[in-house]
Amino acid sequence: MTAVPLSYRIVGRHRETADTVTLDLEPTGESLGPFEPGQFAMVYAFGIGEIPVSVSRMAKERLTHTIRAVGAVSRALCGLPTGASVGVRGPFGTGWDTVAAQGHDLLVVGGGIGLAPLRPLIHTVLARPHTYGRLNVLAGARTPDDLLYRDEFPAWEQTFGAVTVDRSTGDWTGRVGVVTTLLDEAHFTPTDTTAFVCGPEVMIRATTRSLIHRGVRADRVRVSLERNMRCATGHCGHCQLGPLLLCRDGPVLPYDLAEPLLTVREL
């Protein structure tokens, strides 16, 4: 881990949706250490500032980040062309803990941009199919135009993959409804399942409560939280949630620990 940004160059740029871009980064010199699925980096737009961004793909020294343009820094990063330089520091935070999940059925549930931190987890499991039980990938978005990684859905559906949108538009013929409606179709044994959930907090709460109601243990549900991260090293205190500093103790937490914290409204 490094607290000083290292120089990375944008070597690939793919527009996912109207406001979301995936950037492939390679080091121009020294590179950061290896990332675990679920960890994040602080990505710096020179002259603007930095933001925390989860890694959405890992390949040797290349880092991939999927960024939604919602603020000054994220808009600046989304607007950078191939060949531009950014600063990156990390890796930070906790990962999805794929080791503890070995031998279990897996439920991967992503809502909106929350699918991005889950993508490396999906790739890890697909690369080692005999290490885990049945894989279920459930994805939701506001509209069809907001779905990420649509070209990867066919590969995910080889196990069990399902996609739904809150509101249908255009020629969409797929499912319409919240992501929890997909749980009835998934293939898993609740008492032998590990679940990974990332998305808006209201979606995290609804999905996890539904899973627990079906018999999945709360300590086997992993959720990813992100609130007001600034320094990523646990010193500034901006990401404090109850007794935890999410940049240090999270962002991935077991739901039995996260549940009482989620009663505190996000500002």
**CB-CB contact of 150 with 174 (8 Å):** no
80 and 114 fall within a common domain:
no
> Is residue 204 within 8 Å of 117, Cβ to Cβ?
no
CA distance 132 to 66: 26
Return the HEC string of 151-171: HHHHHHCCCEEEEEECCCCCC
Secondary structure class of 260 (helix, strand, coil): coil
* R_g (Cα) of the chain, nearest Å: 18
- Residue 97 placed within a domain: no
pTM (two decimals): 0.94
HSE (CB half, 13 Å, CA atoms) of 53?
33
Statement to judge: residues 137 and 226 lie in one domain: yes
Average pLDDT over every residue of 20-43: 95
Q: Which pLDDT value is given to residue 146?
A: 94
Tens-digit pLDDT profile for residues 88-138: 999 999 999 999 999 999 999 999 999 999 999 999 999 998 999 999 999
Alpha-carbon dihedral of residues 137, 35, 193, 186, nearest 10 degrees? Answer: 0
Q: With respect to residue 152, please indicate whether it lies within any of the assigned structural domains.
A: yes
One domain, residues 77 and 142: no
More confident residue, 66 or 245: 66
For residue 234, pLDDT over 90 is answered with: no
Average pLDDT over the chain, rounded to an integer: 92
Asked whether the beta carbons of 14 and 21 are under 8 A apart, the reply is: yes
Whether 111 and 52 share a structural domain: no
